[in-house]
Structure 1
């Protein structure tokens, strides 16, 4: 290694799943080796957690949506028929069971800051953080479900106030040492060390106090998705991790750099402390031919209707309006042309882009790249993402559940370890998600530089000397 070469990153690796069948690869639930259709069974999720912890994954991220995808054909039927993220269960329900069966792996879910009241949500966060002993992260990634959503930037303004309410409840309402469990005196909690937050703002009025005692992390690790202008500002201040999805690293590189610079210049944060995780679906074989044969097999079961339903939900574009052989790069709609050009720019070998071409690319891996090949070839692809987009890790989606994860553990992780890109064991076995995420023993709460830490009512600090921030 030359003296000016960057040190290799120890990658953060999560499994990216959903309480549904197929998830990012609609139709693959039909494959004889797929078990994603078992998503209603607790044992299904416990088995996954045990498998991934044995492989030393950092975490399991369970995505969520609050409504079905009904843009394509102006109907929910394609999603219903193909099982394209429909039906979908509520993700919080299985985390406690997975946590009880494991010791070190972390858990995360998507939650909406637009449609769930912060007081109730804070209670759910604290409860899960207690039950998992601090192995929990949270994402404010989705904002779906009402007939009419607030405008984009207004959602972020609401999210900004929302997260401050959460900080107040989780960090400021109870002092660290409020719970005494003094059996001799019969005092469980010292009442003067628990207080109302009395928040009043344009979106929320929350008197408090928080109903749960301080949990191991207090504020769970915060993951943000969204790279609009408002999204970047929100991430630069609040995110500890950023989730992104795109088909090529060069699409993301500028956004990643901008968020890191905003975090440094505007909020005084170390840019390296914001970890960026990219969506990737690996298809692995011991030989390239074996991997390509797997992909060809998967394509036999993929649902193009399901893929177009997902595409419509993600983009707001109904491709049913266009003919089967219509070249989408030549249609009148600017939104369609620009979206399709995004695919075409990074998949130049495709001569013609029709709605079926889009469906074929989305049907396996969704809105992220599919890396196909030997462990060495896939690892090369991951390193390209690290070097070109400056990502810090990956959310691995699956084609087959759980076989794709078994292939990653058996084939890919040994190669990543050989290259010095993945740890041999958890940095803090049995520790909190944040301790293992940053590989810092004792770092259960947010870093001192993070805005949430400024809300913390620390042990021994008198109430009058700790003012709850607005």
Structure 2
């Protein structure tokens, strides 16, 4: 029997996220991203329509310079202004019932003790529907915003993240034993102090005494996502993640990425199925193939291609702002973007690709165009490649998601490729894996009971 795919709405609390410039369209509701009613309305629609999660990307700094500086980003709204998704999730939690609530944050942003407390509070508020996308940060400006001279080197950032999650696992899984919270009115004992422990973590970056100030939540540890594509990032995911976000250009490349990461997970003592993989895709939907292709062309003509270049190149710390869109890629320094350049060249074999092709490639490769039936056919191919879920990227809010819910999900359900909307409330982890807590193969489980007196030397 075919296992249903999981569907997540991939968003950012800003006017421009992935497909740039569309806030200018009449239907581009994302221009009013400061309006909480926009997000509450969308979250309710996703919840009732059968989406499994809403996932917010985030950055805490500017992308690399474009046209020699950073004013372009402000003028165009390239992920500035943007708001804190963790604050937003508290509002969405009390206005939804079954929708998973995922956000992005890095160790750069907050000390692990307070971060653990805030996440646990959200998990209580949502009754166990919180997920965290573990990231290291990738923008120089973000690191300078927090007092660094510039971005910490790549592998060092992952060592930092390793210690960060280690502290969190100790707080979430080890600080409170099961049954510690009593709330006994007769004895007047609220919690059993013998079952609450300090963690006394001492590491390279952190000293955390504890105990965790929040009693165990429905999930204890939130569902853990990760999106690193480097060898170090994949190794971290294989050890720690439950969900992995990917943006493979085709199902075959996705298959290779998935198989490799699952193989590494097994080497670390986990099961390959302990990880689920979410492919990022946008959709253009038509009643006929002809209509869908026409809508795709119309959409592509509305996308701000220079913003696409500024986003892609700026994320790699490269300024292509003074390079015209018709410049051949062979005339552009590909350092830091060689993978993207090679993919574009492979997909334009009959001519020399240009910077414009680079921008259009990013729009097209993560896009599925067709009728609901043909979209279902294409999603079956992604599923056969090992993909467990789809991170649905929007062109406009809420229209992109309303179209998908109204036209695509019914066809997917007929084929067993999508779940029916949930009726009974469960934790997000239970929805994905059939259990509320991390399984015993996850490294965090080693801290369960580890700080009880009998285990201390």
What range describes the TM-score normalised by the shorter chain of this pair? over 0.9
Q: Any idea what the Cα deviations from partners look like across 1:133-178, whole Å, max 9, x if unmatched?
A: 0001111135141131211111111111111100001111111211
Answer yes or no: is 1:96 the counterpart of 2:97: no
Equivalent of residue 392 in structure 1, options 388, 391, 402? 388
Q: Matched residue of 1:146: which SS?
A: helix
1:263 aligns with one of 250, 256, 265: 265
- Alignment-derived partner of residue 463 in structure 1: 452
SS in structure 1 of the partner of residue 178 of structure 2 = coil
CA displacement, residues 24-43 of structure 1 (integer Å, 9 cap, x when unaligned): 11100011112111211111
Paired with 1:49 and 1:436, the residues of 2 have a C-alpha distance of 17
Once residues 351 and 133 of structure 1 are traced to their aligned partners in structure 2, the CA distance between those partners, rounded to angstroms, is 55
Aligned mates of 1:45, 1:350 — CA distance in 2: 45
Show the counterpart of 2:328: 327
Q: 2 CA distance for matches of 1:131 and 1:248? A: 38
Q: 2:436 maps to which residue?
A: 444
The Cα RMSD (Å) is 2.1
SS in 2 for 1:13: strand
SS of residue in 2 equivalent to 1:246: coil
- Contact 1:64–1:142 (CA under 8 A) maintained in structure 2: no
Q: Map residues 11-410 of structure 1 onto 2, 5 A cutoff.
A: 11-143=5-137, 144=139, 145-147=142-144, 148-264=150-266, 266-331=267-332, 333-336=334-337, 338-345=339-346, 347-348=347-348, 351-362=351-362, 364=363, 369-388=366-385, 390-410=386-406
**Residues in 2 aligned to 1:204 and 1:120: alpha-carbon distance in whole angstroms:** 12
Structure 2 vs 1, CA of residues 334 and 171 (structure 1 numbering), >3 Å: closer, same or farther? closer
CA distance in 2, matches of 1:349, 1:132: 50
Once the two structures are TM-superposed, the CA of residue 321 in structure 1 deviates from its matched residue by 4.5
Runs of 4+ in 1 over 3 A off after TM superposition: 321-324, 329-338, 347-352, 465-468
Aligned residues of 1:82 and 1:303 also touching (Cα < 8 A): no
Q: Which residue of 2 aligns with 1:3?
A: none
Cα gap change, 1:301/1:198 in structure 2, threshold over 3 Å: closer, same or farther? same
Structure 2 unaligned spans of 5+: 145-149
Aligned pair in 2 of structure 1 residues 70, 336: CA closer, same or farther (>3 Å)?
Answer: closer
Query: 1:263 and 1:293, CA in 2 relative to 1: closer, same or farther beyond 3 A?
Result: same
Q: Deviations over 1:421-444 (max 9, x none)?
A: 111233x72110000012x2xx11
In structure 1, list runs of 5 or more residues that go unmatched: 1-6
How much does 1:294 deviate?
A: 2.3
- Tell me the secondary structure at the aligned position of residue 174 of structure 1: coil
Q: Report how far residue 323 of structure 1 moved.
A: 4.2
Paired positions, count? 449
Offset of residue 102 of structure 1: 1.4
Determine helix, strand or coil for the equivalent of 1:276. Answer: strand
TM normalised by structure 1 equals 0.90
Per-residue deviation, 1:373: 1.1
Give the Å deviation of 1:203: 1.4
Return closer, same or farther for 1:324/1:278 CA change in 2, 3 Å cut-off. Answer: closer
For 1:29 and 1:94, the matched residues in 2 are separated by 20
Deviation of 1:344 after TM superposition, in Å, equals: 3.1
Distance 1:380 1:344 in 2: 27
The alpha-carbon deviation at position 183 of structure 1 amounts to 1.6
- Post-superposition offset of 1:226: 0.6
Question: TM-score, normalized by length of structure 2?
Answer: 0.93
